[in-house]
Amino acid sequence: MKRMRRVWRLVLAVVLVCGGSAVSTAKTILYVPQDDRPVDLAYTTETARAAGYTVLTPPAAYLSGASFTGNAEALASWVEAHAGQADAMVLSMDSLLYGGLADSRKHGEAMPVLQRRLQRVERWHRQYAQVPIYAFSTVMRSPWAGGRGVEPAYYLTYGRSIYSLAALQYKWHTGTLSAADKQAMFQLMGQIPLEYLQDWYSRRQKNMVLNERLIEDARNHVFTYFCLGHDDNSQHTQSSLEVAYLEKIAAAAGVTDFASFPGADQLGLLLIARAHNDFQQRHPTVQVLYPLGTGGETVPRYDGQAVEDTVAAHIQAIGGREVTTGRPDLLLAVYTPLLRGDGEAATVDNVPIMSASARTFLQQIRRATRQHIPVSIVDLTFSNGSDNTLLYGLYTQHMLYTPTAYNGWNTAGNAIGYGIGQGILAASMTAADRKNMLAVQYLDNWAYQANVRDYVQRMQLKMQRHVWEPCYAEEMTELQSLAKEQVQRYARLYLGLDPHTVEVTLPWRRLFEVAVQIRPQGDVPEEAQVRRQLREDRIKAREERVRAAAAALTQADGNEPADGKTPAQLAARQAYEDAVADWQRETVAAADARTIQEEEERAQTLRTWQPRL
């Protein structure tokens, strides 16, 4: 009997150490994302489900997408129909008020409609008193240029002028406007159509009023916790002015269940991590590690504040506590650039050159993991993708699957929020789920964002200049195929994954984001084979056409006079020559395509490194 008890104690210890989801109390989270992009929907829900949660999400038709707006009214009705099944709700207020994040920037809703929608949400606190509500909203971004479909149409033409005007108005507000600045400001006001300025500022005013009301709701405990994200919040912009005003309102009101920091796409996962800690009545301790250089004082280009401030706010938002001594529940290893600037990951500067700082940083991570301290790496050396040097170090030192989590995508705030959220939730995952989560982030953040995306853009230019013969007639289908082929190649060569387990899509039909899915059942076609087969089939089809044309020519020559100059003979000969020429063009195009692709893949290797064979 004593021996049996020892066995059971050993089994329990193994389960606890391994962090299997069996130790998590099964809970249901109702989640309304801000749109259907992978970072907001698929990656967030996959992380929560791997941690043992049941996640309820709205029908896809209700969510904001690449080519359609979200349905705020339908989303609210869906919440009311399913709230009773939930142990907690994590709600995007941008979706429930405007339809989605991008919709918040271009909607035409009247203020009374928006206020009525907010009142409906506020009633849920009383209707579902037993279900805590974790809500998040954003301050509208002030981008320097417009993106098709994600800003008002006029922003494509006047976006830079509006951005410059808002920056000058920031100077005016802060008392730093020079005489030359004042002249430039009035010139810009004369260049931008008045109706566009009125539209842009009136929508921002609605967003400000509603965010102020949401902060008041947090003070009145309508929400268990409320996060205000600063969407692409660069310094000295209209957004930064609005953030300062709202944070001042919150501070004056003494709101405690509230956080405000840069970023938007990480908010859903972060609040799921907060709910997770509240369920377990835990306040995890987080120690932050920086490399040599500017470290926590680094101000990333899209965040508008020091990294250390953003990290501290995120730790507070999950109910955690930042510590500098003792054994932490999580080591957050934040890899910042050696110098103050952070460029784009796709630039030529992103090449693997190991430095003493990088080696020391990796040694500190290895030391922590050997002490069984969970480590979540947040890679902030570049914006919009991973640092090839850091990944090179992890690869060569066989450390890719050593950390608990890795994030190096989009803005610093996005990566920090995901790094903390996944780092906390990973403790409730199986080892296999943690490995899959890491693989997805490496293939998305490193393979695609830092390397493959640039390759696909170059191939797109070659297609447009008719230097490259595509496999697919429709451009975006071809680009998605190229992206899938290359990401699967990275998965096989660098991560040791079977390409048949790696699905890759461009869900918003643009190159900015990718969706990577690990499918253990191995039912994904290997795109390199698909593309080879397509080219072979096209050549075979043309060979068949040549044979058919040759047979028709032989028949025409046999049925007509021997001089070969009758209309039937001339037509048959022309058809044969056209078929041969078409076959030759296709054969040459296929050979050229192979050569170009091999050259581009070699160029990628120069940006990364030669993988182990």
Measured between alpha carbons, how far is 242 from 139 in angstroms, rounded to an integer?
7
Which residue did the predictor score with more confidence, 571 or 559? Answer: 571
Cα–Cα distances (Å) from 380 to 11, 347, 414, in that order, read: 39, 15, 10
User: pLDDT, tens digit, for every residue of 232-265?
Assistant: 766 788 888 999 999 999 999 899 999 999 999 9
Residue 87 tokens read as: 């142990």
Residue 508 has pLDDT above 90, yes or no: yes
Task: Please state, in angstroms and rounded to a whole number, the distance separating the CA atoms of residues 539 and 533.
Answer: 10
Q: Is 352 helix (H, G, I), strand (E, B) or coil?
A: coil
Per residue in 104-138, pLDDT (tens digit) is 999 999 999 999 999 999 999 999 999 999 999 99
Task: List beta partners, residue 321.
Answer: 285
DSSP 3-state of 391: helix
Tokens representing 142 are 């002030």
Whole-angstrom Cα distance, residue 263 to residue 419? Answer: 13
Given this model, what pLDDT does residue 25 score?
56
**Per-residue pLDDT for 12 more than 50?**
no
Dist CA 257 CA 225 (whole Å): 5
CB burial of residue 560 (10 Å; 0-12, 13-18, 19+): middle
Q: How many CB atoms lie within 10 A of CB 187?
A: 13
pLDDT tens-digit map of 464-481:
999 989 999 999 999 999
What gap in Å lies between CA 550 and CA 577, rounded to an integer? 9
For residues 513-518, give the mean pLDDT. 97
Q: CA-based angle 537:538:539, to the nearest 5? A: 90
| Burial track 563-589 (b if 16+ CB lie within 10 A, e otherwise) | eeeeeebeebbebbeebeeebeebeeb
Q: Which of 249-258, 441-450, 558-567 has the highest mean pLDDT?
A: 441-450
- For the four alpha carbons of 81, 274, 42 and 232, in that order, the dihedral sign comes to positive
Phi and psi at residue 559, in whole multiples of 5°?
-95, -10
Query: Chain-wide mean pLDDT for the chain?
Result: 92
**CB of 402 closer than 8 Å to CB of 373:** no
Least confident of 2-16, 376-390, 397-411: 2-16
> Is the pLDDT assigned to residue 613 strictly greater than 70?
no
| Helix (H), strand (E) at residue 551 | helix 527-559
Phi, psi of 259 (to 5 degrees): -140, 150
Q: What is the reported pLDDT for 546?
A: 94
Q: Choose the most confident range, by mean pLDDT, from 18-32, 339-353, 481-495.
A: 481-495
Alpha-carbon span 462 to 603, nearest angstrom:
15
| Contact residues for 563 (Cβ-Cβ < 8 A; gap 6+) | none
